[in-house]
């Protein structure tokens, strides 16, 4: 059920999952007037505010790179708050390149945003505009997902040979950096470090690799203290359009970009329960969807369970 809301927002009324910021409105799309041109990713709506960008995490969810028709209550809030947690905590110790966040306080956003602060609060950030590097920077501490598939078939992960005898979900002796392309349509493709170096230049490739590994390692320690394993995560980098300074952009260490596993249930030799959209993927596979548009609708209980997974991930950290 969709309706045109006051702020020009296409809303879907969902059941309230928490009695605080998450209650009520599920935002599947925004259509704010007076905010400059809008771009829409699978999950985020981005408004060009001149020298900066307004990044809004909607409640959209994608699976197998296809956006599903239903929004997930609380999802945009969870993604934004988790990113905020990491941008705050991981930079505390210093020694890192800058990140793109200017502020997440809607009162400090430009005047044109002020009519929309009710919707923006908690799910948006004002960020530096960047030219995104055409690669996704993935760090893996454990063998899971596509990495496990490749290892099982060829003994490699993204072309890097790993020791023999690893089981599914095993911890690697040290985290590895496994970049991929950033496909504008369709699926990302794993590439070797050398290919990445050809794409963006050797010294830039080396720098993003080192920053990616450092962020993963810092995050893994914080997660461990909270009883969670970060199996892998995807980071994005961009260059400031004028100064060309490198910065960390996009979301950071959320269930959409990372695999989080509860430590107390961790058992190598099988796939692990996780806080990401595995629940949704399993449902979609159980009904035999071929992963091609149009996507099927999600039943209410699947929406609810997914929402709970996201909220639980946030509660573990914040
Ligand atoms: N600071 C930034 N400047 C420019 N683009 C950015 C910035 N931060 C994130 N982005 C881009 O915004 C988009 C975020 O929207 P999202 O819905 O997550 O897209 P996607 O479908 O590519 O995952 C991504 O394409 C990301 O590269
Ligand atoms: Mg994204």
238 Cβ closer than 6 Å to some ligand 1 atom: yes
Cβ-Cβ contacts under 8 Å for 162 (sequence gap 6 or more): 143, 151, 155, 156, 172
Cα separation, 106 vs 252, whole angstroms: 20
Q: Which ligand is in closest contact with the Cα of 57?
A: 1
Domains 2-127 and 132-265 in one fold? no
DSSP per-residue string spanning 2-35 = EEE-TTS-EEEE----SSSTTSSEEEEE---TTS
Q: What is the pLDDT of residue 275?
A: 87
Answer yes or no: is the C-beta of 220 below 6 A from any ligand 1 atom.
no
Digit-coded pLDDT (tens) for 76-92: 999 999 999 999 999 99
pLDDT of residue 23: 57
Separation in Å, CA 159 to CA 168, 191, 206, 208, 250: 17, 8, 17, 19, 26
Looking at the CA of residue 130, tell me the nearest atom of ligand 1: 3
Please give the pLDDT value at position 184: 76
Instruction: Please tell me whether residue 148 adopts helix, strand or coil conformation.
Output: helix
Task: Outline where DSSP puts E strands in the chain.
Answer: 2-4, 10-13, 25-29, 38-40, 44-48, 52-57, 62-63, 66-67, 101-103, 124-128, 131-132, 135-142, 156-157, 160-161, 171-177, 180-181, 228-239, 246-249, 258-262
State the ligand closest to the CA atom of 55.
Answer: 1
* Fold that domain 132-265 belongs to in CATH: D-amino Acid Aminotransferase; Chain A, domain 1 (3.30.470)
Query: 186 or 296, which is more confident?
Result: 296
Return d(Cα 134, Cα 291) in angstroms, integer. Answer: 25
Report how far ligand 2's centroid is from the alpha carbon of 165 (Å).
Answer: 34
Q: Does ligand 1 lie within 6 Å of residue 126's CB atom?
A: no
Residue 208 pLDDT exceeds 90? yes
Residue position matching structure tokens 């996780």: 274
Lowest mean pLDDT among 136-140, 180-184, 263-267: 180-184
Is the CB of 60 within 6 Å of ligand 1?
no
Residue 1 above 60 pLDDT? no
Q: Can you tell me the distance from the alpha carbon of 26 to that of 70, in angstroms, rounded to the nearest whole number?
A: 9
Looking at CATH, the fold of the domain delimited by 2-127 is given as Phosphorylase Kinase; domain 1 (3.30.200)
Question: pLDDT by residue (tens digit) across 249-304?
Answer: 999 999 999 999 999 999 999 999 988 888 899 999 999 999 999 999 999 999 99
> Residue 260: what pLDDT?
96
The model scores a pTM over 0.85: yes
Span from the CA of 302 to the centroid of ligand 1 (angstroms): 27
Asked if pLDDT for residue 21 goes beyond 50, the answer is: no
Q: 256 — alpha (psi -120 to 50), left (phi > 0) or beta?
A: alpha
Domain boundaries, the chain: 2-127, 132-265
Q: Is the pLDDT of residue 8 over 90?
A: no
Tell me if 277 CB under 6 Å of ligand 1.
no
Q: What's the 234 CA to ligand 2 centre distance in angstroms? A: 9
Q: If you measure from the C-alpha of residue 251 to the centroid of ligand 2, how many angstroms do you get, rounded to a whole number?
A: 7
Q: How far is the CA of 250 from the centre of ligand 2 (A)?
A: 7
């Amino acid at each position: 059920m969709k309706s045109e809301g006051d702020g020009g927002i296409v809303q879907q009324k969902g059941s309230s999952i928490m009695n605080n910021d998450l209650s009520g409105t599920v935002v599947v799309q925004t259509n704010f007037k007076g905010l400059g041109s809008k771009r829409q990713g699978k999950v985020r709506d981005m408004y060009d505010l001149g020298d900066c960008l307004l990044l809004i995490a909607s409640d959209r969810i994608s699976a197998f790179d296809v956006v599903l028709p239903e929004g997930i209550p609380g999802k945009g809030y969870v993604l934004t708050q988790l990113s905020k947690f990491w941008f705050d905590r991981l930079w505390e110790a210093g020694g890192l390149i800058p990140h793109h966040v200017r502020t997440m306080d809607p009162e400090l956003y430009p005047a044109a945003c002020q009519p929309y602060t009710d919707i923006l609060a908690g799910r948006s950030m004002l960020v530096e505009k960047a030219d995104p590097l055409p690669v996704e920077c993935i760090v893996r501490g454990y063998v899971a997902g596509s990495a496990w598939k490749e290892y099982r078939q060829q003994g490699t992960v993204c072309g890097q040979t790993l020791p023999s005898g690893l089981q599914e979900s095993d911890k690697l002796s040290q985290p590895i950096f496994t970049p991929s392309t950033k496909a504008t349509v369709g699926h990302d493709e794993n590439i070797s470090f050398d290919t990445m170096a050809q794409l963006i230049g050797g010294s830039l490739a080396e720098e993003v690799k080192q920053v990616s590994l450092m962020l993963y390692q810092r995050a893994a320690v914080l997660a461990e203290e909270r009883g969670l394993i970060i199996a892998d995560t995807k980071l994005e980098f961009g260059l400031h359009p004028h100064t060309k300074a490198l910065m960390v952009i996009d979301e950071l260490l959320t269930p959409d970009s990372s695999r989080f596993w509860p430590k107390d249930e961790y058992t190598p030799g099988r796939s692990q329960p996780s806080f990401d959209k595995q629940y949704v993927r399993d449902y979609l596979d159980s009904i035999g969807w071929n992963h091609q548009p149009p996507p099927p609708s999600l039943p209410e209980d699947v929406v609810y369970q997914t929402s709970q997974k996201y909220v639980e991930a946030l509660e573990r950290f914040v």
